[in-house]
């Protein structure tokens, strides 16, 4: 089932065109990985799906993005961002306790009941495989956690809002291999209940976790296909070059 359909998407920042006529579909409960060299527009594409690009003053777009048949630009941004959560490249805990970080979204959406909040926090931390490591010290500062734990905390914080789609923007770029493996494990479990879009600079990571993979180059979508296909028999020469490390 198609979760998100992107048609003829063009994005400019000022006079720079960052995305050029992108068309693709994102299926429910899949992990779509997006690979490509720096400045290929993959992060801009990701930030379009929760409309974070609109924070930039000189942002312009045309084309359409539909989620479950509704144009996302017609949605209230607050509502859209509850449905489409995001995990950023560097771990970005807020300067709050572990508990308050995870409860942040729920609180802003008006949930005040302590017991209810605790249930939400516990469930989210379990889903992000962090619960066992932090359950006895939920009130300490989130900054006291290691980088990998912080990133899983950020995943839990996103999950606590109960999104339908989760965007990952190079979530492992600052992590060691063991922490990376834990984050990847969490992602693979999460796709049972969520739709995941993962932008990564790590081609091997795309091969490990992606159901389908899209290759972006200079703002264009070069190809999108099953991950095995992209990594064994890509139809475009440039994809092949990139995967084999010939450029980028």
Partner 1 sequence: MARIMMDSRKTEKIVFFFLFLATLLIVAPVGMIIVIIIQKGLPAINWQFLSDIPRQGMRAGGIFPAIVGTVYLVLGAIAFALPIGLLAAIYLSEYARDNLLNRLIKLAIVNLAGVPSVVYGLFGLALFVVFFKFGASILSGSLTLGIMILPIIITTSREALESVPYSFREVSLSLGASKWQTIRSVVLPNAIPGILTGTILGLSRAAGETAPILFTVAAFYLPQLPKSIFDQAMALPYHLYVISTQVPNVDEKIRYATALVLLTLVLFMNLVAIIIRYQFRKKKKW
Which of these segments, 104-112, 126-134, 182-190, 195-203, binds partner 1 (CB under 8 A)?
A: 104-112
Q: Contacts with partner 1 in 152-191 (CB under 8 A)? A: 154, 157-158, 161
Q: Does 73 bind partner 1 (CB under 8 A)?
A: no
Residue of 21, 39, 141, 173 interacting with partner 1 (CB under 8 A): 141
Sequence-separated (6 or more) residues with CB below 8 Å from residue 180: 148, 172, 205
For partner 1 (CB under 8 A), the number of binding residues is: 28
What burial letters (b/e) apply to 191-228, b meaning 16+ CB within 10 Å? beebbbbbbbbebebbbbbbebbbbbbebebbbbbebe
Residue 227 Cβ vs partner 1, minimum distance, rounded to whole Å: 26
Q: Which is nearer to partner 1, 78 or 136 (CB)?
A: 78
The separation between CA 179 and the C-alpha centre of its own chain, rounded to angstroms, equals: 17
- Angstrom distance (rounded) from CA 128 to CA 157: 9
Q: Contacts with partner 1 in 13-72 (CB under 8 A)? A: 50, 52, 55, 57
Residue 167 Cβ vs partner 1, minimum distance, rounded to whole Å: 9
Q: Does 139 bind partner 1 (CB under 8 A)?
A: no
- Angstrom distance (rounded) from CA 240 to CA 65: 28
CA angle 153, 158, 164 (to 5 degrees): 145
* Residues that bind partner 1 in the complex, under the rule CB under 8 A: 50, 52, 55, 57, 77-79, 81-82, 85-86, 88, 90, 92, 94-95, 104-105, 107-109, 141-143, 154, 157-158, 161
């Amino acid at each position: 089932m198609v979760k998100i359909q992107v048609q003829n998407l063009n994005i400019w920042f000022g006079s720079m065109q960052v995305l050029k006529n992108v068309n693709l579909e994102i299926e429910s409960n899949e992990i779509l990985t997006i690979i490509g060299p720096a400045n290929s527009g993959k992060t801009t594409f990701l930030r379009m799906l929760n409309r974070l690009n609109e924070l930039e003053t000189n942002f312009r777009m045309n084309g359409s993005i539909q989620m479950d048949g509704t144009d996302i630009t017609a949605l209230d941004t607050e509502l859209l961002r509850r449905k489409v959560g995001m995990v950023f490249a560097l771990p970005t805990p807020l300067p709050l306790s572990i508990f308050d970080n995870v409860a942040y979204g729920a609180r802003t959406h008006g949930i005040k009941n302590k017991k209810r909040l605790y249930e939400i926090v516990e469930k989210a931390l379990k889903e992000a495989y962090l619960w066992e490591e932090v359950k006895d010290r939920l009130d300490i500062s989130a900054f006291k956690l290691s980088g990998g734990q912080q990133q899983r905390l950020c995943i839990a914080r996103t999950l606590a809002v109960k999104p339908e789609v989760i965007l990952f923007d190079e979530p492992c770029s600052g992590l060691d291999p063991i922490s990376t493996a834990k984050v990847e494990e969490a992602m693979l479990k999460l796709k049972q209940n969520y739709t995941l879009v993962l932008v990564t600079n790590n081609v091997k990571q795309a091969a490990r976790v992606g159901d389908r993979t899209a290759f972006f180059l200079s703002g264009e979508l070069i190809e999108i296909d099953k991950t095995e296909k992209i990594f064994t028999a890509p139809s475009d020469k440039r994809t092949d070059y990139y995967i084999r490390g010939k450029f980028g």
